[in-house]
Amino acid sequence: MARIPTRIGDGAGVLAVSLTLMSLGAALWVLGYPTIEVTVTATKTLKADPGSADQGFRAFAYFCGYTTVIGVIIGAWTARTRPLGPLMLAWVVLCSAAGAAWSLWLGQVLVGRFFGFDATSISPGDTISVAPSVDPSVALLCAPAAAATIYWAASAMASASSVR
């Protein structure tokens, strides 16, 4: 049986760890996902409670926070357990970016499942929880930027210590 080349195995390991950690992060994100409390009016329109208007931004901030932390973990783990070099740096960035995109997609699917409601069964006076959607924009760059920074710093420290 043929052996898998070490570089391919290392790369596959980084991808697997990235996707696994981001999947766990998405699941935790959904458990703490901020919702907007809305009341159904007599004209069947929705009126948001004043204290819950910023929940969309909080969901965005939570996404940025957990993907950044996971990006740091991915960068540190890869620098510690895998060969250092520019190709692995590029791979860490790609894997953490793919993981962040996967995490956003999985999180939005799970949010839809957990916080969805049947619009035909609501009546005036009901209060329901609505999950605001998250526009990812720059948030998808948090994990790759954190992973690249940590990996690069570890590489720089390793090369500086080998010079002595």
127-155: average pLDDT: 91
Residue-range domain boundaries for the chain: 33-155
Could you count the other beta carbons within 10 Å of the beta carbon of residue 109?
12
**Three-state secondary structure call for residue 73:** helix
pLDDT of residue 162: 62
pLDDT of residue 125: 81
Give the pTM: 0.87
Give the tens place of pLDDT for each residue, 3-19. 888 888 899 999 999 99
Across the beta sheet with 46-48, what order do the strands follow? Answer: 46-48, 36-40, 127-130
- Say which amino acid occupies 85: G
Percent of the chain with pLDDT over 70: 97
Give the tens place of pLDDT for each residue, 95-139. 999 999 999 999 999 998 988 777 777 788 888 888 888 888 889
How confident is the prediction for the chain on average, in pLDDT? 89
Pairwise pLDDT comparison (74 vs 135), residue with the higher score: 74
How far apart (Å, rounded) are the C-alpha atoms in residues 116 and 29?
16
